Amino acid sequence: MSDLSAFPITRRWPPRKPDAIQLYSLPTPNGVKIGIALEEMGLDYDAHRVKFSRNDQTSPEFLSLNPNNKIPAILDPHGPNGRPLALFESGAILIYLAEKSGQFLPSANRYEVLQWLMFQMGGLGPMVGQLGFFHAFAGKEIEDPRPKERYRAETARLLKVLDTALEGRAWIAGDYSIADMAIGPWLRGLRDFYKVGDITGLAECHNVEKYIDRFLARPAVQRGLLVPAA
């Protein structure tokens, strides 16, 4: 049995399965990427819910694992060279898990997969998140229309980029990959959570609409969307 007692985060969230990958997350678009990946890859994991309602993300224990106080983060007791690995940033975690499992990051088109992963990390996620803030949350109280319009227009542009790239393809880089595990949750968030599809031209992006439904139909995705459990 692995001994993870040297990691302060385990004092707040004691491992139930010490030999499994410890996941600290919440079912947000960024958080569910890792739950989906773990389910798709068949890796053993122990999911812990980080509750924003009690400011878990700013606790000393969580900050000891991720000083940037964002979910998701993992602690793998069997990391490189057999040593425990603490890791944050969802993109980095996806790459690590793909390499650990030998799945969803093929050598033949590795860099194409990575470019679309970075597209989500640097573009789609931040833009949809900011648009959601101004459309559905506290930002809607701001009278100046320019911030919301900036994010709306850029989100609409990114949807068109995706729609063009998906022409004749089931998945963004050919075969299903970690890029899809990153992009899919944000498109679901855009359509179903933030409900900004109508103002970003989603209905005109037929390839994207089919892609969302195809993604959500995967059994491992359906399970991953519920990780961590309430």
Tens digit of pLDDT per residue, the chain (230 long)?
688 999 999 999 999 999 999 999 999 999 999 999 999 999 999 999 999 999 999 999 999 999 999 999 999 999 999 999 999 999 999 999 999 999 999 999 999 999 999 999 999 999 999 999 999 998 888 989 999 999 999 999 999 999 999 999 999 999 999 999 999 999 999 999 999 999 999 999 999 999 999 999 999 999 999 999 97
The reply to whether 107-220 shares the fold of 9-103 is no
What per-residue confidence (pLDDT) applies to 122?
A: 98
Question: The domain 107-220 is classified under which CATH number: 3.30.980.10, 1.20.1050.10, 1.10.3720.10, 1.10.10.10?
Answer: 1.20.1050.10
Q: Determine how many CB atoms are found less than 10 A away from the CB of residue 39.
A: 22
pLDDT recorded at residue 138: 82
Considering the segment(s) 9-103 as one domain, its CATH architecture is: 3-Layer(aba) Sandwich (3.40)
Q: What is the pLDDT of residue 181?
A: 99
For residue 145, cis peptide bond before it (omega within 30 degrees of 0):
no
Query: What pLDDT is recorded for position 39?
Result: 98
- Biggest alpha carbon–alpha carbon distance for the chain: 57
Residue ranges covered by each domain of the chain: 9-103, 107-220
pTM of the prediction? 0.96
Considering Cα of 78, then 47, then 55, then 133, what sign does the dihedral take? positive
CA dihedral of residues 45, 93, 120, 217 (deg, nearest 10) = -20
| Residue 86: strand, helix, or coil | strand
| pLDDT of 30 | 97
Q: What is the pLDDT of residue 151?
A: 97
